[in-house]
Structure 1
Amino acid sequence: MTRSLATLLLLGFVGRTAWAADPPPPAKGVLRVATYNVALYRGRSGQLAGELRSGNSQQAKQLAEVIQRVRPDVLLLCEIDYAPQDDPPRLFAELYAAKPQAEGLTGIDYPHRFAAPVNTGEPSGLDLDRDGQTDGPADAWGYGRYPGQYGMAVLSRWPINEAATRTFQQLRWAALPDANQPHDPATDEPYYPAEVWEQLRLPSKSFWDVVAMTPVGPLHLLCSHPTPPVFDGPEDRNGCRNADEVRLLTEYAAGRLSDYFIDDQGRSGVIAADEPLVVLGDLNADPNDGDGLREAINDLIAGPRMATDPKPTSAGAVAASERLADLNADHTGDAANDTGDFGPDGHGNLRIDYALPSEDLRVVGSGVYWPKPGEEGAEAAAASDHRMVWVDVATAER
């Protein structure tokens, strides 16, 4: 596996203090923004809420411990069920994040939250996987066993301007200019019949522009969780969809395709060029390794409005890559940048979770919360197969 100088330093030439997993608090006037795939989904609707309501979910306690060690001001949670009647994000915030989860830690309050409907588990009434049925999890607008599975939520210390916040759950894939329509390689015919293709939604969960009213001004959080580019066939329908879901972030942040971006409230348009943003989410796309069409994620990282990629790192990612050397043998990316440990699935370690600021924000710190085995926080970090990614930003003039 290719190893950069940064990786070699992590492996043995940087002291423990310099690479302590728990980051120091951000300086005054600096915002810590993070994304975290918490894997808080269950096998049936309502199961997660019941578990959280008990106050005794071991997984939720460990996830909250990670949050208390990193202490982001604003946090996107991926894979937490959307269930407005039970409100799992509120239960998690109030019963777990707000209560100390380890010696020396203090709770963190997130009085402001945002969640909205997602496509996962929402029946389409169509046979999307061509198995002759229309009611399977792969026939939903986004793969899911029940509506709201694998949802998203934003937790914030600062108020959220819901009037300015936009959701794009129902964007049609076929309407995207130059869409990556999947084709059957054996026939070169479109995989989806025309009448199905015209109805398909592009976001597998949703795409949000959430506006947090921070002490340094409004901050746009571009939140999404594209489908994994696997679990399909030679037509690569999930790879095509993943690439176009990632492209949504690139086009919206760059201020392009204004007519395409009609939100769920019926408003069209894209973000203004002078409004700072951070792209957040489990994007299921690695710029160097794994499956997927890598051009899309590299276009996002190098987008015209984006700051230089902060490339967050951790020592734990390097240790995990070494532990699974056979699975990672053909990887060319720097293992220090990995954000997920997918050894049990046979995919090795990848960088697929992102916190990418726009160029009108100054990056003053970043990291992946991934302690090495035996370090404080390592057991808690293993509560999800993803690791929290965070970035500290200040306005450009600071």
Structure 2
Amino acid sequence: MQAFVWIVTAFLATGAAAQDLRVATYDPGLTRKGPGLLLRDIRRADPQVLAAAQVIAAAAPDVIVLTGIDWDGEGLALAAFAEALEQAGHPMPHRFAARPNSGMPTGLDANGDGRRGGAEDAQGFGQFSGQNGMAILSRLPLGSATDHSAVLWRDLPGALMPPLAPDAAAVQRLSSTAHWDVPVLTERGALHLLAWSATPPVFDGPEDRNGRRNHDEAAFWLRHLPAAPFVLAGNPNLDLADGEGRPEAMMALLDHAQDPRPRGAFQPEQTGVNAGHRGDPALDTGVFDPAGPGNLRVDYILPAKTLRVTGSGVVWPAPGDPLAPAVEAASDHRLVWVDIDLESMGPGQADQ
């Protein structure tokens, strides 16, 4: 416990300055195989849950997008995890979560296996409604959120949706998890947090359904960027240098947003498939199958170009670091953070 207190103190001592806002995104691995199981594990003080809370507390974000946490209708699991985070030394009393598309039934046999109600028949892959959803926790108050998750895929202008049966096209949503615009209410006005978690661009066939959807989930934001200051944050599930996928939409977003290229302090030895990667391993945010994609950069924070970034990083400590066991135990993803100078938002603005 003393070592953990030292870690948190060290991070806070070198964390965001008083005029900065630390924005983070993280898949904490808080998803389970059935409804209610996450809440059970949080209440039992499961070591994996406590590890995730330790990682977040050490990074000390002002606001964080969680892209791997089960949703329940009463918000019990999120409230319980917020309490665990407070006990870990970093209270974030403001929160937002809405029902995600993951696990939401369509009533159709979407994957053509002759059965309905399976994980692949849902709006987004999930064994139950809310599995592997999203949430936002914040130290600062949050404004009224805009939930774009009900937008149909076919209604996105220029959508790359492959041909679907009419009944499927009529109900198929674009978001595999969610698309949210959540204002963070700072002393300088509202900073719009544009959060999403996309389907991986793999696990499909020659029709490239997942690759096309992954592209379009990023392309959605090209038509929904607010005039107010914004930050794109979440898990686009796309490495722009390595892995599979269609990078065009993400690259187009970089015409409007900047990439601070957060780096981790440690990178594993680049062997196996990682040795053939073209991207900088310091930018990786996920540890995946070495026989498959290897380590990739799939989690991003992209502030608007008008905002001034004062620091960034990936929480990936070296094996000897006291925080390393918690990072390893919590998730196969790594927390990403970016510090934004609130002064760059301009004079105090009305809530937008």
Same fold (TM over 0.5): yes
| AA aligned opposite 2:255 | G
Q: 1:22 to 1:235 in 2, by over 3 A?
A: farther
Structure 1: which amino acid aligns with 2:183? Answer: V
In structure 2, what is the Cα distance between the partners aligned to 1:194 and 1:84? 31
Cα deviation, residue 288, structure 1 = 1.1
1:388 aligns with 2:338: no
Is residue 216 of structure 1 aligned with residue 206 of structure 2?
A: no
1:147 to 129, 137, 149: 129
CA contact (8 A) 1:338 1:352 kept: yes
Query: 1:86 deviation in Å?
Result: 5.0
Distance apart, 1:296 and its partner CA? 2.0
- Match 2:148 to one of 168, 186, 210: 168
Is the 8 Å Cα contact of residues 273 and 291 (structure 2) preserved in structure 1? no
Q: For residue 206 of structure 1, report the CA deviation from its aligned partner.
A: 1.0
Q: Which residue of 2 aligns with 1:202?
A: 174
The code of the aligned residue for 2:53 comes to A
Distance 2:117 2:70 in 1: 20
Is it true that 1:331 corresponds to 2:274 in the alignment?
Answer: no
- Distance in 2 (alpha carbons) for counterparts of 1:177 and 1:84: 32
Give the residue type in structure 1 aligned to 2:194.
Answer: L
Which secondary structure does the structure 2 equivalent of 1:40 belong to?
A: coil
Encode CA deviations 1:15-49: one digit per residue, 9 max, x unaligned. xxxxx988812112100000011111101111111
Provide the residue aligned with 1:98 in structure 2. Answer: 86
What code does the residue aligned with 1:82 have? W
Correspondence for 2:209: 237
1-side partners of 2:48 and 2:65: how far apart?
18
Please give the secondary structure, in 1, of the residue aligned with 2:23.
strand
Contact 2:147–2:180 (CA under 8 A) maintained in structure 1: yes
**Which sits farther off after the overlay, 213-222 or 37-46?**
213-222
The answer to whether the Cα contact below 8 Å between 1:21 and 1:370 also exists between their aligned partners in 2 is no
SS in 1 for 2:219: helix
Asked if residue 303 in structure 1 is aligned to residue 255 in structure 2, the reply is: yes
The AA in structure 2 aligned to 1:134 is R
Distance in structure 1 (CA, Å) of the matches to 2:206 and 2:114: 19
Distance (Å, rounded) in 2 between the aligned partners of 1:178 and 1:372: 44
Distance in 1 separating the partners of 2:245 and 2:59: 30
Given candidates 108, 122, 135, the residue that maps to 1:126 is: 108
Work out whether 1:48 is the aligned partner of 2:48: no
Contact 1:21–1:371 (8 Å) recurs in 2: no
Say whether 1:279 aligns with 2:225: no
User: RMSD between aligned alpha carbons?
Assistant: 1.7
SS of residue in 1 equivalent to 2:275: coil
Alignment-derived partner of residue 67 in structure 1: 56
Cα deviation per residue 1:274-321 (whole Å; 9 max; x = unaligned)? x11111101101111101112222222x233x13x10000132x2x2x
Unaligned runs of 5+ in 2: 1-9, 348-352
Give the number of aligned pairs: 335
**3-state SS in 2 of match to 1:68:** helix
1:251 matched to 2:239? The reply is no
Which residue in the other structure is 1:28 paired with?
Answer: 18
TM-score (norm 2): 0.91
Q: Percent identity?
A: 44
- Residue matched to 2:262: 312
Separation in 2 of the partners of 1:233 and 1:109?
A: 44
**Mapped contact 1:250–1:303 kept (Cα < 8 A):** no
Q: TM-score, normalized by length of structure 1?
A: 0.81
**CA–CA separation in structure 1 for the residues paired with 2:209 and 2:39:** 32
For 1:245, give the aligned amino acid: E
Distance 2:207 2:241 in 1: 22
Alignment correspondent of 1:3: none
Residue 161 of structure 2 corresponds to 181
- 1:369 pairs with 293, 315, 333, which one? 315
What does the per-residue CA deviation read over 1:70-103, in whole Å, with 9 as the maximum and x for residues that have no partner? 1000011111111033521110111x21113xxx
